[in-house]
Amino acid sequence: MAEPKLLSTQQIAEHNTAKDLWIVVDGQVWDMTDFAPEHPGGIGIILQYAGRDASQPYNEIHAPSLLNKTLTSSKLVGTLDTSTISDSWAKPPPQQNPKVQLKNEKPPLFTLLSTHDFESVAEKTLAPKTWAFYSSAATDLVTHKANQSFFDRIWFRPRVLRNIRTRDTRWQIMGQNVELPIMCSPAAMAKLVHPDGEKAIARGCQSKGVIQCVSTNASFPIEDIASSLPPSQSGPPPLFFQLYVSKTRTASEALLRQVWSLGIRTIFLTVDSPLAGKREADERVRMDDDQQGIPMMTGVGKPVNDKRGGGLGRITGSFIDEGLDWSDLPWLRQHWKGKIVLKGIMCAEDASRAAKEGLDGIVVSNHGGRNLDTSPPAILILLDLHRNAPHVFDKLEVYVDGGIRRGTDILKAICLGATAVSLGRPFLYSLNYGPEGVEYLIDMLKDELSVAMALVGITSLDQAHPGLVNTNDVDYLVPTTEGHPYAKKRKQPLKAKM
């Protein structure tokens, strides 16, 4: 194989337009002309570094191996001749963001006492765009707030004089043993929080016996995340995979083959996000100018920071197939022989349909309140299933995702028939401290759960049952019928008489 061509900075700088676009990443010179318009983050950030060294912004978000796996070898046009680097060429482009100044240094990890403490630290120390992306929710945040507040409206009915000296939080999720009934929810681009991103979450989760569900939009390829873990001594790795089905089905098929080859045997198909909701906090903080409103490259336009804003959620989801429906399940089963869980069920009717279709599990979830505001809070959906589709609990595993912040929340969901719960934002905020933060979060939740079990009067999770909770404060909000109890669909307007 021929040695890559050595290219001077002067040669590279000549390729600085949308129609002829080269960038340098870690000393390699890549032709991005064809790929840039399809970049999930928009062409703008690539154009900002056209003809320049883009190593720093690239490595902040992406895995080192991603370019080699995404682009063909023909797009590698050469290597940078470092002897030609001048101060003017090495200087960051004028459109680059000023370095984020932290409002406060992170306090020592041992001083944090709750998931709320992790969130408070994250708000003060994450980059403004990162915080906006992860903390944001749809429009008026009604559902986002209700996810948490509805857990507070469910009361325990503790039993006393029970021997609770020894408690056991161990459980099973999709046949895999776990140390407590929680999962790490899939979330995009965790590298925004920590350089090791999802790999750090995976290490923290594995060390504490918790399963991580890896997002299609993870910062690292799934094989890099899996290979960062020690080989599993028994059974599949402690990973599930979340799938967004691409408009290009062959891309999803290839991804599923890759996931299967790694020993992962369960996928979570997200069904509540054919497109992203309006997340105003995320839209307000511009993609590439989050502090000072610096525009994109002059004359190029703003494919990221458009008239709707700069929402990362909207940008990164542009590849998702909006036409996905129930009739596509046979296609999925053709290309995936393992277990399938539908993530994003919000009513009893769809839960019944999932059971009828023979799915292995469902996640009752409203996507953390990030898509359709005023969709029902997650714990209320669980009660909807009990009232209107109780048979689903005998046919598939049911998970709750949304609003879980305490060990008491976990126990309430288990008492009400959930197999397990899933947490998203708390894991991302704990990642602010690296894998040690993830481990600390899990220990914190495990301790809270164990204490809650003791004070309710049980010593193992299989002793949990609905009689240990009082849902009267929310029962009147649980639907009683498939349709509306009294409102009728409006008839088509009558044609005007001539």
Provide the pLDDT for residue 66: 79
Nearest in space to 8 (alpha carbons), one of 25, 19, 24, 20: 24
Nearest in space to 370 (alpha carbons), one of 479, 270, 260, 278: 278
8 A C-beta contact, residue 78 and residue 7: yes
Query: Cβ contacts of residue 299 below 8 Å, gap of 6+?
Result: none
8 A C-beta contact, residue 150 and residue 379: yes
8 A C-beta contact, residue 430 and residue 440: yes
Please report the sign of the dihedral spanned by the C-alpha atoms of residue 378, residue 383, residue 384, residue 385: positive
In terms of Cβ atoms closer than 10 Å to its own Cβ (0-12, 13-18, 19+), residue 498 is exposed
Identity at 419, one-letter amino acid code = T
- Structure tokens, 386: 């009990």
Residues counted in the chain: 498
Provide the pLDDT for residue 101: 42
CA distance 266 to 268: 7
Residue 336: HSE in the Cβ half-sphere, 13 Å Cα cutoff? 30
CA distance 468 to 159: 8
313-325 per-position pLDDT tens digit: 777 778 899 999 9
- Structure tokens, 26: 């870690």
In the beta sheet, which residues pair with residue 133? none
> Which residues of the chain fall short of a pLDDT of 50?
95-102, 289-303
Nearest in space to 455 (alpha carbons), one of 100, 251, 156: 156
453-480 per-position pLDDT tens digit: 999 999 999 999 999 999 999 999 999 9
Number of other residues whose CB lies within 10 A of the CB of residue 372: 17
Provide the pLDDT for residue 100: 43
Instruction: Please give the distance of CA 5 from its chain centroid, rounded to a whole number.
Output: 40
Provide the pLDDT for residue 419: 98
SS (H, E, C) the chain: CCCCCEECHHHHHCCEECCEEEEEECCEEEECCCCHHHCCCCCHHHHHCCCCECHHHHHHHCCCCHHHHHCCHHHEEEEECHHHCCHHHHCCCCCCCCCCCCCCCCCCHHHCCCHHHHHHHHHHHCCHHHHHHHHCCCCCCHHHHHHHHHHHCCEECCCCCCCCCCCECCEEECCEEECCCEEECCCCCHHHCCCCHHHHHHHHHHHCCCEEEECCCCCCCHHHHHHCCCCCCCCCCCEEEEECCECCHHHHHHHHHHHHHCCCCEEEEECCCCCCCCCHHHHHCCCCCCCCCCCCCCCCCCCCCECCECCHHHHHCCCECCCCCHHHHHHHHHHCCCEEEEEEECCHHHHHHHHHCCCCEEEEECHHHCCCCCCCCHHHHHHHHHHHCCCHHHHCEEEEECCCCCHHHHHHHHHCCCCEEEECHHHHHHHHHCHHHHHHHHHHHHHHHHHHHHHHCCCEHHHCCHHHEECHHHHCCCCCCCCCCCCCCCCCCCCCCC
CA distance 486 to 494: 23
pTM of the model: 0.82
Query: Cβ contacts of residue 326 below 8 Å, gap of 6+?
Result: 353, 357
Active-site residue numbers?
244, 272, 367
Number of other residues whose CB lies within 10 A of the CB of residue 325: 9
Provide the pLDDT for residue 300: 30
Radius of gyration of the chain (CA): 25
